[in-house]
């Protein structure tokens, strides 16, 4: 029989990609120099999962569970993904929102061992060299952040690395992207968070953020280097600040295979939720009037994608944008306002202004309010009650993450509308019992979208990521919502079905690739089969072959 001589004994047990721990068979232990290095009993992966879940149940809080799971990921990747895939509804809030927010805030204090790559402004001219230090050559997905706008928590600098790590875990859990294809990157250009700079355990550069031409040159060098070193990789921009995110997406999306999840992924999951909600409320997307609380990356991204969907249905672009209205920290975004940020101008409509959100609701009578402000409890009782007065079934989307930043709770939305609200949130809420009925709130989690988009782009070898792909992903996600889901008040499918949903989204995205002529190799004869074949299964594989 043959063995990999580079992966034997203790070295094999310290390789998370190949380690199986107590699940190595007697034959594998003999062949690979493991006999005596492991307890004598051979356990199945299922038995190992039971032990991990028991350990997690004994932990006192979710942050400790996060630390335990990251430690498992560092030791045994297959077991980590088996545990999360098998218990996705329970564990996704641990490995991502809301717990990942607290993990980022305390990243320097819970740091155990490095994952991913840290590139700093001191690495100018050497980024390609640094990327070649990565041990896996066939990288297909890179999630990169500069840590300036982590969830709704603000500038966390290098401590924001928890976000790329978590996002890439979801790529594997939700769409089967192989862990060896994934590269988390943090570009550290400093932080303006003085508390972090003063923290003796902070892991990043202790300086104010680099801005302007130097910053732009560093990002461009990174994108050029990534395309050179990993030519098949898709780059996902994540949690960049508003001052950079729109400019970076607009400036680079046609030159690289790149997208911004905060702008485009969020937009797609919300568009899908709106289409699903219309099956409850009635009407069409063209009939809706949307009022956003917050006019940053997420809000403007949603407005633009909704407009794209309406234009595809035949509506003129200006009219399509008039379906979306925005309310920011200074009030309603209207034409008469001075010094509007460039990304807000297309949605600055001709209307009287107001600095009172309740008044804006009463003036515009929106069919849906969409919270993307990062400011908690801003969908107050008067706001939600006003929505209920103007709509038989008001759509209320409180999307800010983590849970502590949500504009309102699920219980509040249902109570303040006598159970008539169609509610969705960014972070999970427990089921709500109200007036003899149980509601299961839908979670507008980007994990419904970006893993499937990435899988479809990988299989079709797309040269670019387009808005049409995100519209197709949103339509597919909405189609996956069952009548049973809608009866429970849920406008997204159960997370337990996420891998099947992601495979269907991947198929719709790949179809757009081929229809648009963006493929870099011929279409496979069996495209659904190719998608399924590309999905990583975290079951153990034989460590030796005859």
Last residue of a domain, one of 218, 235, 256: 256
Give the mean model confidence (pLDDT) for residues 181-197.
98
Q: What is the CATH number of the domain that holds 23?
A: 1.20.1370.30
Structure tokens at 262: 């905060």
- 409 and 295 belong to one structural domain: yes
- The pLDDT-based confidence of 546 (bands split at 50, 70, 90) is low
The tens digit of pLDDT for each residue in 263-288 reads 999 999 999 999 999 999 999 999 99
C-beta of residue 184 within 8 angstroms of C-beta of residue 198 = no
Going from the C-alpha of 330 to that of each of 153, 338, 360, the distances in angstroms are 20, 11, 12
- The pLDDT-based confidence of 152 (bands split at 50, 70, 90) is confident
The tens digit of pLDDT for each residue in 436-489 reads 999 999 999 999 999 999 999 999 999 999 999 999 999 999 999 999 999 999
The tens digit of pLDDT for each residue in 217-256 reads 999 999 999 999 999 999 999 999 988 999 999 999 999 9
Question: Within a 10 A sphere around the Cβ of 211, how many other Cβ atoms?
Answer: 13
Going from the C-alpha of 286 to that of each of 135, 274, 291, 322, 324, the distances in angstroms are 50, 11, 14, 10, 11
| Residue 102 domain flag | no
Question: How deeply is 29 buried, as exposed, middle or buried, from its count of CB atoms within 10 A (0-12, 13-18, 19+)?
Answer: middle
State how beta strands 324-328 and 234-237 pair. Answer: unpaired
- 71 and 195 belong to one structural domain: no
pLDDT (0 to 100) of residue 402: 85
The tens digit of pLDDT for each residue in 397-434 reads 999 988 889 999 999 999 999 999 999 999 889 999 99
- pLDDT over 70 at 357, yes or no: yes
- 40 and 75 belong to one structural domain: yes
- 200 and 285 belong to one structural domain: no
| Residue 61 domain flag | yes
- pLDDT over 50 at 1, yes or no: no
- 155 and 70 belong to one structural domain: no
| Residue 103 domain flag | no
Give the mean model confidence (pLDDT) for residues 336-346.
93
Give the mean model confidence (pLDDT) for residues 163-167.
97
Give the mean model confidence (pLDDT) for residues 67-92.
97
The tens digit of pLDDT for each residue in 292-338 reads 999 999 999 999 999 999 999 999 999 999 999 999 999 999 999 99
Q: For 288-352, give the DSSP string.
A: --EEEE--SHHHHHHHHHHHHHHHHTT--HHHHHTTEEEEETTEE-BTT-SS--GGGGGG-BSS-
Residue 202 annotated as catalytic = no
Segment among 94-98, 356-360, 364-368, 473-477 with least mean pLDDT: 94-98
Range(s) of the domain holding residue 514: 261-546
- pLDDT over 60 at 153, yes or no: yes
Strands lying side by side in the sheet with 395-398: 331-332, 324-328, 290-293, 368-371, 395-398, 422-425, 442-443
Structure tokens at 506: 């991947």
C-beta of residue 534 within 8 angstroms of C-beta of residue 176 = yes
Last residue of a domain, one of 48, 64, 95: 95
C-beta of residue 503 within 8 angstroms of C-beta of residue 455 = yes
- 75 and 146 belong to one structural domain: no
- The pLDDT-based confidence of 58 (bands split at 50, 70, 90) is very high
Q: SS3 for 358?
A: helix
| φ and ψ of 526, to 5 deg | -115, 85
The tens digit of pLDDT for each residue in 209-226 reads 999 999 999 999 999 999
Distance CA 527, CA 452 (A): 14
- pLDDT over 60 at 167, yes or no: yes
Distance CA 322, CA 259 (A): 25
The mean of the pLDDT values for the chain is: 95
- 312 and 206 belong to one structural domain: no
Q: Is the pTM of this model over 0.85?
A: yes
pLDDT (0 to 100) of residue 3: 45
C-beta of residue 164 within 8 angstroms of C-beta of residue 238 = yes
Q: Which of 66, 81, 167, 414 is catalytic?
A: 167
Last residue of a domain, one of 241, 256, 271: 256
The region, left, alpha or beta by phi > 0 then psi within -120 to 50, assigned to residue 46 is alpha
- pLDDT over 90 at 49, yes or no: yes
C-beta of residue 262 within 8 angstroms of C-beta of residue 305 = no
pLDDT (0 to 100) of residue 274: 98
Question: How deeply is 469 buried, as exposed, middle or buried, from its count of CB atoms within 10 A (0-12, 13-18, 19+)?
Answer: buried
Residue 167 annotated as catalytic = yes
- 58 and 166 belong to one structural domain: no
Q: Which of 66, 96, 171, 448 is catalytic?
A: 96
Count of domains forming the chain:
3
Q: For 506-528, give the DSSP string.
A: HHHHHHHHHHTT-BSSPPPSSHH
């Amino acid at each position: 029989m043959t063995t990999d001589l580079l992966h034997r004994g203790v070295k094999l047990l310290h390789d998370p990609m190949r380690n199986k721990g107590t699940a190595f068979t007697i034959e594998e232990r003999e062949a690979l120099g493991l006999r005596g290095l492991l307890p004598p009993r051979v356990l199945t992966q299922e038995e190992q999962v039971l032990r991990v879940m028991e350990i997690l149940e004994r932990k006192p809080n979710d942050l400790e569970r996060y630390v335990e799971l990251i430690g498992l990921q560092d030791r045994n990747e297959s077991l980590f993904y088996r545990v999360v895939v098998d218990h996705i509804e329970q564990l996704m809030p641990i490995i991502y929102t809301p717990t990942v927010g607290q993990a980022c805030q305390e990243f320097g204090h819970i740091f155990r061992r490095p994952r991913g790559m840290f590139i700093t402004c001191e690495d100018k001219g050497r980024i390609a060299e640094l990327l070649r230090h990565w041990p896996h050559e066939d990288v297909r997905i890179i999630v990169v952040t500069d840590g300036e706008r982590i969830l709704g928590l603000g500038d966390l600098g290098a401590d924001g690395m928890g976000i790329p790590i978590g996002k890439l875990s979801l790529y594997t859990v939700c769409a089967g992207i192989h862990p060896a294809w994934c590269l988390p990157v943090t570009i550290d250009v400093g932080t303006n968070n003085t508390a972090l700079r003063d923290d003796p355990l902070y892991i990043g550069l202790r300086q104010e953020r680099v801005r302007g031409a130097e910053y732009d040159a560093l990002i461009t060098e990174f994108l050029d280097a990534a395309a050179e070193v990993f030519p098949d990789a898709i780059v996902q921009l994540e949690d960049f600040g508003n001052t950079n995110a729109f400019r970076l997406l607009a400036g680079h999306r046609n030159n690289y295979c790149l997208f911004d999840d905060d702008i485009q992924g969020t937009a797609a999951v919300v568009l899908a939720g709106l289409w699903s909600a219309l099956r409850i409320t009635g009407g069409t997307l063209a009939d809706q009037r949307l009022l956003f609380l917050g006019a940053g990356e997420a809000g403007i991204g949603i407005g633009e994608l909704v407009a794209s969907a309406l234009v595809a249905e035949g509506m003129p672009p200006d009219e399509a944008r008039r379906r979306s209205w925005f309310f920011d920290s200074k009030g309603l975004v209207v034409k008469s306002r001075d010094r509007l940020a460039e990304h807000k101008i297309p949605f600055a409509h001709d209307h009287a202004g107001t600095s009172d959100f309740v008044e804006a609701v009463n003036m515009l009578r929106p069919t849906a309010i969409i919270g993307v402000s990062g400011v908690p409890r801003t969908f107050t009782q008067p706001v939600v009650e006003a929505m209920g007065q103007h709509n038989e079934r008001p759509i209320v989307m409180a999307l800010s993450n983590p849970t502590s930043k949500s504009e309102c709770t699920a219980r509040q939305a249902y109570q303040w509308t006598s159970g008539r609200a169609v509610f969705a949130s960014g972070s999970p809420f427990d089921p709500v019992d109200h007036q003899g009925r149980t509601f299961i709130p839908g979670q507008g989690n980007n994990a419904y979208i970006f893993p499937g988009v990435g899988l479809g782009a990988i299989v079709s070898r797309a040269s670019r990521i387009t808005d049409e792909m995100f519209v197709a992903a949103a339509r597919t996600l909405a189609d996956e919502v069952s009548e049973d889901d809608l009866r429970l008040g849920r406008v997204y499918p159960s997370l337990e079905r996420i891998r099947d949903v992601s495979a269907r989204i991947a198929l719709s995205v790949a179809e757009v690739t081929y229809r648009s002529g963006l493929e870099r190799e011929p279409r496979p004869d069996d495209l659904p089969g190719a998608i399924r074949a590309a999905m990583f299964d975290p079951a153990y594989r034989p460590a030796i072959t005859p």
